[in-house]
């Protein structure tokens, strides 16, 4: 049985203490969400900005923010207007030459076109997500519906590698779908620093956006025994966090992620860094026998 209360038996208390004292302002400045918040004037603007930022959320946060700002400039500072102008496939000259890791300008231009079509056909990404979420697969079904809508109908020509940007947890790869799950968190939670522009989805339904930092810390807190980042690990970690806060289980995501990004978790035993950490009594690096006893 997984010991979700950590080696100390007080993990819930310690996580809440970490959340309560966390320097959100410092970390938000380093997060892609800091680029999205000024543009989220309404649901449509938030969805457009949030989806581009979440799609670009690969690599370190500095490069992600730089890539988003580059793409925003190529869209003349108005992502929603760029989406509404993309009534047909194609890559305008201003969007050519964009590159972030393996993401290219022609892919993002096609994403703008798909967002345009979704707006015409479904109204919003919230409606797309809710249509899938209301089925038997629940939250995973909502992500699958988003993925399918963003990829476009079978047979529609898309740029090379485009469809791989939007995996589904219902596919054989069992992807953790970190970027789409992150996007939904931004849209749903109204608590700082998230945007809370979706009204039809409760924070209690959210799943943890499982990046490498959150996974590593969650594993060493005993929240999962999964050895890889997968959708099964997402569900397992979220279920453990839901025991601590059933109404808002992913309130810990931003804090855990930036604890890793900032170096406050060195990912090895280092008393100088780990000594003051409120989670050290729960960390299996310091109490390795606790996992075997769980």
| Predicted local confidence at residue 178, as pLDDT | 97
- What is the pLDDT confidence band of residue 5, given thresholds at 50, 70 and 90? confident
Q: What is the mean pLDDT of the chain?
A: 94
Q: Rounded to an integer, what distance in angstroms lies between the CA atom of residue 167 and that of residue 186?
A: 18
Per-residue pLDDT tens digits for 203-231: 999 999 999 999 999 999 999 999 999 99
Q: Answer for the pair 292, 92: CB distance below 8 angstroms, yes or no.
A: no
Four-way CATH pick for 1-23+207-294: 3.60.20.10, 3.90.1150.10, 1.10.1670.10, 1.10.1740.10? 1.10.1670.10
As a whole number, mean pLDDT of residues 51-55 equals 98
Domain boundaries, the chain: 1-23+207-294, 31-202
> How is residue 105 written in tokens?
């300008």
Give the pLDDT band of residue 290 (cuts 50, 70, 90).
low
* DSSP 8-class letter at 194: S
CA distance 88 to 15: 48
pLDDT of residue 173: 83
For the segment 26-45, the average pLDDT, to the nearest whole number, is 96
The pair of three-digit structure tokens given for residue 169, joined into one six-digit string: 């947890």
Please determine, for residue 154, whether its predicted confidence score (pLDDT) is greater than 90.
no
Write the pLDDT tens digit of every residue in 164-214. 999 999 998 889 999 999 999 999 999 999 999 999 999 999 999 999 999
Q: What is the pLDDT of residue 294?
A: 44
pLDDT at 153 over 60: yes
In the predicted model, what is the mean pLDDT of residues 120-139? 96
The residue among 233 and 3 whose pLDDT is bigger is 233
Arithmetic mean of pLDDT, 120-135: 96
Selection from 86, 132, 74 nearest residue 111 by Cα: 86
Q: Tokens representing 257?
A: 């992620």
Give the residue carrying structure tokens 């594993």: 219
Percentage of the chain lying above the pLDDT 70 cut: 96
Assigned token pair, 35 = 């680029």
DSSP 160-178: TTSGGGS--TTSTT----H
Element (H, E) at 108: helix 105-121
How many CB atoms within 10 Å of residue 219? 18
């Amino acid at each position: 049985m997984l010991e979700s209360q950590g080696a100390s038996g007080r993990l819930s208390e310690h996580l809440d203490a970490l959340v309560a004292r966390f320097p959100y302002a410092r970390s938000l400045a380093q997060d892609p969400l800091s680029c999205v918040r000024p543009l989220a004037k309404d649901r449509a603007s938030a969805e457009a900005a949030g989806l581009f930022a979440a799609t670009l959320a690969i690599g370190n946060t500095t490069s992600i923010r730089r890539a988003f700002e580059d793409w925003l400039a190529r869209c003349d500072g108005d992502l929603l207007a760029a989406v509404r102008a993309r009534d047909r496939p194609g890559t305008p000259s201003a969007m050519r030459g964009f590159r972030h890791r393996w993401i290219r300008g022609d892919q993002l231009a096609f994403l703008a076109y798909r967002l345009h079509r979704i707006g015409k056909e479904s109204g919003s990404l919230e409606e797309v997500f809710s249509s899938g979420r209301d089925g038997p697969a629940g939250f995973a079904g909502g992500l699958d519906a988003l993925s399918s809508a963003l990829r476009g109908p079978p047979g529609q020509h898309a740029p090379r590698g485009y469809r791989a940007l939007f995996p589904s947890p219902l596919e054989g790869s069992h992807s953790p779908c970190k970027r789409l799950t992150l996007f939904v968190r931004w849209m749903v939670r109204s608590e700082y620093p998230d945007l809370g522009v979706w009204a039809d989805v409760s924070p209690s339904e959210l799943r943890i956006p499982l990046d490498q930092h959150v996974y590593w810390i969650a594993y060493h807190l005993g929240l999962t025994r999964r050895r890889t980042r997968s959708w099964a690990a997402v569900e397992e970690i979220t279920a453990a966090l839901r025991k601590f806060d059933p109404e808002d289980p992913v309130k810990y995501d931003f804090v855990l992620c930036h604890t890793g990004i900032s170096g406050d978790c060195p990912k090895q035993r280092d008393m100088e860094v780990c000594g003051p950490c409120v989670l050290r009594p729960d960390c299996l690096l310091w109490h390795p026998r606790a996992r075997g006893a769980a």
